Amino acid sequence: MPIKFYNSNILFRLRNKKKIKSWINGVVSNHGYMVENISIIFCSEEEIHRINNHFLNHNYFTDIITFPYSNGKSISADLYISVPTVKENAKLYKQLFSIELNRVIIHGVLHLLGYDDKTEEMKKRIRVAEENSLKLL
């Protein structure tokens, strides 16, 4: 059940790695899945923009991009997280950076569990799941 954290083109130190790994495993398990391999890569705005443009043909900045490699109930993925964008969003939403970062992390994990945010109804559903997941941390 490895969950690993990496930095790419950015200096960043995640606190409470063990706690976050346990939390992610718990959320995944509560949904009837298991973690096979999740890499969480912290990166710059420029890098996530390049990835978004190159792989998804989206020419805009975002806070997270999820690349799923899952098979059945076994979850594998790469989650790219733009730390500067998360910081900006934390200020915008008047939230602590750590809480906003946890929200973004679990948002990516929830996508792996079948949640989506393409419609308003789907957005409401994933927001509720985010809030419920954050309570478990």
Residue 1 — very low, low, confident or very high, per pLDDT cuts 50/70/90?
low
pLDDT in tens, 49-102: 999 998 888 888 899 999 999 889 999 999 999 999 999 999 999 999 999 999
Question: What's the predicted TM-score (pTM) here?
Answer: 0.94
Given this model, what pLDDT does residue 129 score? 97
Given this model, what pLDDT does residue 80 score? 98
**DSSP, res 66:** E
Q: What angle do CA 110, 80, 45 make, to 5 degrees?
A: 125
Query: Given this structure, which CATH class describes domain 3-136?
Result: alpha beta
pLDDT in tens, 30-52: 999 999 999 999 999 999 999 99
